[in-house]
Structure 1
Amino acid sequence: MSKGQFESEMNSHPIDSRSLIPFISKEFKTHFTKNITALYHYTNLEGAQGIISNKTFWASHIKFMNDSKEYSHGLEICEAIVQNLIQEFPKENPRRAYLEEVFTILEEQDTDIFVVSFCEREDLLSQWRGYSRSKHGVSIGFDYVALFDVSFHLSEENFFPRKVIYNHQLQQQIIHRIIEVALASIEMNADKTAYTPKEVARTIGYFLPLFKHSTFSEEKEWRIIVTNSKSMPYQHELKFRARDNIILPYIELLTHNKVTQNDNKLPINQITVGPSGTNEFTARSLNYYLKNVGYPTVPIKISHIPYR
């Protein structure tokens, strides 16, 4: 991007040092979202009851999730790109020092990343195995428009779900673009960049949890990403709960139904009971529960996947 192109873009889309994340989100909007009617959240019965009763999702710390190693996949891609770009600049070039600082911050990141996962499909074996964490799993189907505003939110504070990116070349393109915009801002004003190295590192760190290896593409996953950093002015309250063999850090995300006539009920369009030896019995108990907590018309389905 030339200096003139960058200035023109900045004039048409005013931004500040706190808004690199929404700037990149908007540019790659078609890759992070699409026209769908529903998203499904896989959990166990206890988790489903908590979501429905409290109208709250629990965003888990990415380092303690089942697929936590996927974060290192994106980080390795990013570090390779930044290192290669560093080598392109002579040692006395300020851009090299700038990128070196970005790289250092990435390695010493103080940002905690929390994730809520959704899926485009209601009955998927990999999701039952990964998220229900027991033989009594359910997937809760949410009306996409009602739960998440149809307009594309540009800030992570809006808790808007984004599609996971499985394409390796697109992952590289996003990282390159973040760095390109940051370096172009230096070119526009040699004395002061629009983005500090910390903001660039934070932006990269925000998108990395949306990068997964292509072999996982059948999961069709979407994620809400929430960040907590000591350097940020606002901190989400950190909570802990025991799960299996770990103490899991998480934060609570309170939902806000966009459809006001629903009496502040969650816009649940169906619940699917996962494969188990007692799924019919589980479905009856779930139906009774829903009727008594204000969801008498929510249909309950049984997984088509054979129980083993």
Structure 2
Amino acid sequence: MTQLFYHYTDAATTLKILTNQELWITHTSFLNDANEGSDLLKHLRKHIKNKDILKLLEFIDTRTDAYSCSFSKQKDLLSQWRGYCPPEEGYAIGFKSPDKFRDFMCDDGLSIVGAPTKDDTYVLTRHSHGFEACIYEDSEKEEICKKMASHMEEDYLKLQPDMNNFLTNLDRPPAGLKDFLHRLEAGDVWLSEYLYYKYLFKNENFKEEEEYRFFLTFDMNYKQNPCYREKNGVFIPYYRYCFDYKDIQKVVIRTSKLKNKCEQGLRHFLRNDKKMSQDEIELFIETSDIPFQ
């Protein structure tokens, strides 16, 4: 284990990341977990007595979009090489946690960038404050959900008296929707705590990945303009996270028949494109200890 967070990928993506200094943060509906985002509500149902609260949470789910990028604290993990890299290649890019996570509207401009728009603006509702560890253990999930359910039961009373009318008209929300959303925003549990854990709870079958993630959530009411890429015939929405090159500390090359050529090419790129010294390159490149070919 190191203090870095590793993003496993293929050579083409590694080249784009190193060249463009950006990561693509993918819409959570297009990740490899088919139940992405649903695990939290499954556990909350056991602890929430007021069924109207569940209706409210389901409404919040329909109002939000989320984007995520995955990492591991393990720099040389067999399941990551198998899951995210082609048979003959693989790179694990080691990032330190960026200093400017807490302020995407930094002095240098936007750190999160979507597709260009007429006025080139959008609204980011919330984001993780670093690389956050996913939660797999049922015991930890249950403890979190007990506290969250209690908080929701208490805060729900503050949303009265128009709650019943709102919940019976979710298919055609009333004219006061904007004000109501502001009230949800004022309660820490609804649009902060709930959406935070929603994208950290993961099915226990993915535990071996030991995933850390960086994620964004948008309210559907706000204008958002993601970019799109194509994979296997599917249009996939994503945002670009633009980082400082110093945020990358290391690249680990997977063991394969092409390992020597992979290292030779990466050294050539770093020396010529990134103007790194020989000593810097020696610290930057590492090779896998796992004899997996």
TM score, norm. by length of structure 1: 0.68
Structure-2 change in CA distance of 1:276 and 1:243 (3 Å): farther
CA contact (8 A) 1:105 1:198 kept: no
Q: Which residue of 2 aligns with 1:219?
A: 209
Q: What whole-Å deviation, never above 9, does each CA across 1:156-190 have from its counterpart, x for those lacking one?
A: 44652211111212223323333332332355786
Q: Which residue of 1 aligns with 2:145?
A: 175
Task: Name which of 78, 94, 97 aligns with 1:141.
Answer: 94
The aligned amino acid for 2:17 is: I
Task: Give matches, 1:85-124, under 5 Å.
Answer: 85-86=49-50, 97=52, 99-105=53-59, 109-124=62-77
Q: Which residue of 2 aligns with 1:26?
A: none
Provide the secondary structure at the position in 2 that maps to 1:57. Answer: strand
Q: Which residue of 2 aligns with 1:306?
A: 291
% same residue: 23
Provide the secondary structure at the position in 1 that maps to 2:246. Answer: coil
C-alpha RMSD over aligned residues = 3.3
Structure 1, 46-55 or 126-135: larger mean CA deviation: 126-135
Structure-2 change in CA distance of 1:245 and 1:74 (3 Å): farther
Task: Name which of 12, 17, 30 aligns with 1:51.
Answer: 17
The aligned amino acid for 2:136 is: Y
Provide the secondary structure at the position in 1 that maps to 2:40. Answer: helix
**Unmatched 5+ stretches in structure 1:** 1-34, 87-95, 258-264
Q: Which residue of 2 aligns with 1:254?
A: 242
Q: What whole-Å deviation, never above 9, does each CA across 1:200-257 have from its counterpart, x for those lacking one?
A: 55442442221123343332211011112312x463x3111112343222111122x4
CA distance in 2 between counterparts of 1:280 and 1:58 reads 28
Task: Give matches, 1:217-296, under 5 Å.
Answer: 217-231=207-221, 233=222, 235=224, 237-255=225-243, 257=244, 265-294=245-274, 296=276
Structure-2 change in CA distance of 1:38 and 1:185 (3 Å): same
Structure-2 change in CA distance of 1:190 and 1:201 (3 Å): closer
The aligned amino acid for 1:175 is: C
**Unmatched 5+ stretches in structure 2:** 105-124, 163-179
Q: Which residue of 2 aligns with 1:65?
A: 31
Size of the alignment, in residue pairs?
248
Offset of residue 131 of structure 1: 2.1
CA contact (8 A) 1:55 1:266 kept: no
Q: Which has the higher contact order (CA 8 A, sep 6+)?
A: 2
Structure-2 change in CA distance of 1:100 and 1:63 (3 Å): closer
The aligned amino acid for 2:261 is: F
Structure-2 change in CA distance of 1:182 and 1:73 (3 Å): closer
Q: What whole-Å deviation, never above 9, does each CA across 1:79-133 have from its counterpart, x for those lacking one?
A: 4444xx22xxxxxxxxx54x14324415x62322211111101111111122235
CA distance in 2 between counterparts of 1:104 and 1:156 reads 19
Offset of residue 273 of structure 1: 0.9
Q: Which residue of 2 aligns with 1:42?
A: 8
CA distance in 2 between counterparts of 1:49 and 1:103 reads 41
